[in-house]
Chain A
Amino acid sequence: MKKKSDFNIFEFFITAAIILVIVHTFLEDFALLSHWSQNIRDALMILGFCFDLFFTIEFLSRLYLAQNSKGMAHYFVHQYGWVDFLASVPLLMLSSGPQFVTYFVRDLSSAGLGSLLGFITLLKLIKTIRIARILRLLRIIKVFRNIKYADSPMAQRHVAKIITIAVSVIVAGVFCVSLVTSGLNLSANKDGFESIRQKYLNIIAESAANGMSMSRIVDSLLITAKAHDVVMIQKGDQVYFSKYNESEMARLVFGEDLKEARLDASGIKVVFDTRGENITLERIQAQDSLTYFCIVLLVVIAYLLFYSPHFAMTVSDPVNVMKQGMAQKEYNLEVKIPELFEDDDIFQLAKLFNEKYLPLKDRMADKPEDKSSVLDLGLADIQSMMDDEF
């Protein structure tokens, strides 16, 4: 008994965590679109990592425990193990994990561990596979798997199944489409950076050809080009313009945050910031994510609001009434047959129940013998009484 209550507490805790993580998923994208402060976004990112880690541990624990009961395959296929997997491990590996490590390793690198630069770049690349975040929507399935919203286990299972199919299809479809479009976006971004670089090179080449002084070239670069993106202008070892101080520069990663345009003939190098372009891309993706999030949520709500009652009315409720009519001797309520569905198999059966079974049962109940079978009072009902004295 204690074990069962412990299990229920655990499941309640898991469900609460899932609801929180869904809210978190929404907030993470919303924060980006609403220009919330970087600190809040960082906190949300760390929270996301903690959730993913927690669900990964939960998945591995369930997988381990399944080994001792019905087997891993049974858990994976029949007990929504695949949802537990997809909504945890890939997210930890491809989304929140790289983000989290990048966030902390970047601080280490700023402290002088420059050798980690390559690793950071790799993680940053992985981080760009934001489409993995879509898998988080699968957690909605887990919520509706854990919450009991229908009296009948059959209704619960059918509605959960149909929600699983709908959400999985949407997520899988979005995942595939996003995979293709994000590839296109990355390539478009790369082309964009190339054209910016080319623009800087042209200005430098043109200015050098006109014999302009370095200060004029700097002005020309800052005026003509996207000034807010220029981070540093250098000729040889001499820095003519720098937007940030040394420590601020150390937090930025060459190749990822920063790119450079260098004209070897003149020895002039322009370092420009690419984060603006990346943030725009992130915002587009966040907007898409929110749209998918809303679509999935609306689909689930629509199923719960419209399909679930329909299933109850046309399948589980009539079955329940017939079941009670057959199990309890004094239960003689007829099945209500909606005109619209009277040709359904289930209501054809209900018609037979109403017209044949109940009248027959009523006649049988009128026989004076076998009164004990209508007994509602059982020994279990008076167990506490029997222990007391009078």
Chain B
Amino acid sequence: MDQELNKASAFIKRLLANPALQPFPLLQKEEQILQFLKLNANSLFPTLTSPAFFNGKNWPEIFAILYQGLLDVINQDLFQQINDQLERIDFSFVSFLKEVNYPLSKCRDQIRDFLAKLLTKYETRQAFNGPFTAVSLSITDKYIEQSFLRHEYIHFELVKVQKLKMSKEEIKNMVKASLLLMVGATTATLTTSSYQNNSVSHLIPRQYAEKISRDMQDQLKLLPPELINSAVNANLSFLENKDTEATSRITGVFAMRCKNYKHIQTVDRGADFPDKSWLNIARRNYKYYGFDIKVLDEFYKIAAENGW
């Protein structure tokens, strides 16, 4: 079995090294390989069942070994990357919200354990792709930075409405932590399909958001409820929940921005900038995704001005 897993890992590693996958973030690479294996089962099976690979096994057995190999290879990098990102986030804002001084490393450990538990499920891994890519790319930092320079809608919503009397850097870190934790709501969308919005896969109803928040608070006792609410409410539709926190609205936008993120080396001539294009499309689909149009408008202006 070990030998077969080694073969599977070697096969997966070579697939991952394929240039066609290089523009994708890690979890999207995983999704690409999974879909590739499923789609090309008939073509791959004769080769993979040969003595050089998995001699005499049927396709479901081969697929299971390859999937395990894929998870092993991806997890190795994924958890390393999660650790790196957690180390980069300054959790000092937790003390500000909770007014209790916890060792920051404990907050990190709690989040790490929480994610490790969640990321065993395929659907959660899929849902984690967008938020984690947003954190990895630090996409939130540059937009929040610009919003604070502009002092317009987003700044007002964060400081005056949500009353986050904290520094710009602390807000950036809070949004990043929200992005990492928002995947906690995926369990609800998995188990309660009847509550899923028919048109948008990731949105959840208010009452379930509240329930999930309570569950998560039980699991993440060191983290302030404001942070957990900010993360879970990122899965709410702003159109139906006008009191959604500004950090949740921002988190929701960036998670969706990076859902199908593909690194573009050079933008084609005649095409608009990637972020600007995405935000303009999102502005037209804001009702569908339940985004706050004013947040999108401001981010769109920022992207246009900065050529992002």
Contact = CB atoms under 8 A, between A and B. Distances in A.
Interface stretch (B13-21, B72-80, B82-90, B133-141): B13-21
Interface in B1-55: 7, 10-11, 14-15, 18-21, 24, 31-33, 35-36, 38-40, 43-44, 47, 52-53
A237 interface: no
Interface string A308-338: 0000110011101100100000101111100
B100 interface: no
A382 B18 contact: yes
A335 B271 contact: yes
A375 interface: yes
Nearest to B289: A366
Contact of B32 (A333, A334, A376, A379): A376
A379 B43 contact: yes
Given A334-B281, A377-B18, A381-B18, A372 B39 contact: yes
B274 interface: yes
Contact of B38 (A316, A372, A381): A372
Contact of B272 (A312, A335, A377): A335
Contacts of A382: 14-15, 18
Interface stretch (B164-172, B231-239, B242-250, B261-269): B261-269
Contacts of A330: 260, 262
A334 B274 CA distance: 8
A161 B243 CA distance: 62
Interface string B99-124: 00000000000000000000000000
Given A372-B35, A377-B18, A355 B267 contact: no
A246 interface: no
A333 B280 contact: no
A362 interface: yes
Contacts of A313: 269-270
Contacts of A378: 20
A116 B267 CA distance: 69
SS class of chain B's interface: helix, strand, loop or mixed?
helix
Nearest to A365: B260
Nearest to A151: B269
Contacts of A386: 44, 47
A389 interface: yes
A318 B270 contact: yes
B250 to A, nearest CB: 19
A358 interface: yes
A359 interface: yes
B84 to A, nearest CB: 26
In this complex, the member of A324, A355, A362 whose beta carbon has the largest number of chain B beta carbons within 10 angstroms is A362
A2 interface: no
A301 interface: no
Contacts of B200: 366
Contacts of A355: 284
Interface in A352-380: 354-355, 358-359, 362-363, 365-368, 371-372, 374-379
Interface residues of B, number: 46
Contacts of A367: 201
A104 interface: no
Nearest to B283: A359
Contact of A376 (B10, B24, B274): B24
B36 A359 contact: no
A114 B24 CA distance: 83
B59 interface: no
A324 B269 CA distance: 12
A1 interface: no
A317 B40 contact: no
Contacts of A381: 18-20
B276 interface: yes
A311 to B, nearest CB: 12
A334 B271 contact: yes
B268 A320 contact: yes
A306 interface: no
A77 interface: no
B21 A376 contact: yes
B288 interface: yes
Contacts of A385: 11, 14-15
B278 interface: yes
A368 B289 CA distance: 14
A334 B277 contact: yes
A358 B276 CA distance: 13
A390 interface: yes
In this complex, the member of B14, B24, B269, B282 whose beta carbon has the largest number of chain A beta carbons within 10 angstroms is B269
B6 to A, nearest CB: 8
B62 to A, nearest CB: 13
Given A365-B260, A382-B15, A377 B32 contact: yes
Interface of B: 7, 10-11, 14-15, 18-21, 24, 31-33, 35-36, 38-40, 43-44, 47, 52-53, 199-201, 260, 262, 264, 267-272, 274, 276-278, 280-282, 284-285, 288-289
